[in-house]
Amino acid sequence: NAGVMQNPRHLVRRRGQEARLRCSPMKGHSHVYWYRQLPEEGLKFMVYLQKENIIDESGMPKERFSAEFPKEGPSILRIQQVVRGDSAAYFCASSPPPGLTNTEAFFGQGTRLTVV
């Protein structure tokens, strides 16, 4: 059972370009979280999604950032017109549907975005 898969592991974008980060959840997990981490800091919640539905996007910047989790395929975190301040590690986590006994979230290895 593969874990949470994120790609790419490293992404370099010039200012103004778009960044697309992909996340495939663990098998059987229907819920995905995206977190952002700056060096030497904790993880900050961005968005929580289930298939075809955004549950909680309270941590998402109002502009340039969007996320989706289509019926088929990975979850995508999209950052348009990137700026240097977007440089960070972006982590995806997945969990089973809530209500089950074990609902811990498992994390991928992250995508390290560098904006130059």
Rounded-to-integer distance, Cα 82 and Cα 9, Å:
17
Site string for other proteins, 48-77 (x = CB under 8 A): x------xx-xx------------------
Least distance (Å) from other proteins to the CB of residue 77?
15
Length of the chain: 116
12 binds other proteins (CB under 8 A): no
Other beta carbons within 10 angstroms of residue 95's beta carbon come to 21
Task: At 84, give phi and psi (nearest 5°).
Answer: -60, -35
Give the binding site for other proteins (CB under 8 A): 4, 6, 31, 33, 35, 38, 40-45, 48, 55-56, 58-59, 91, 93, 95, 98, 103-110
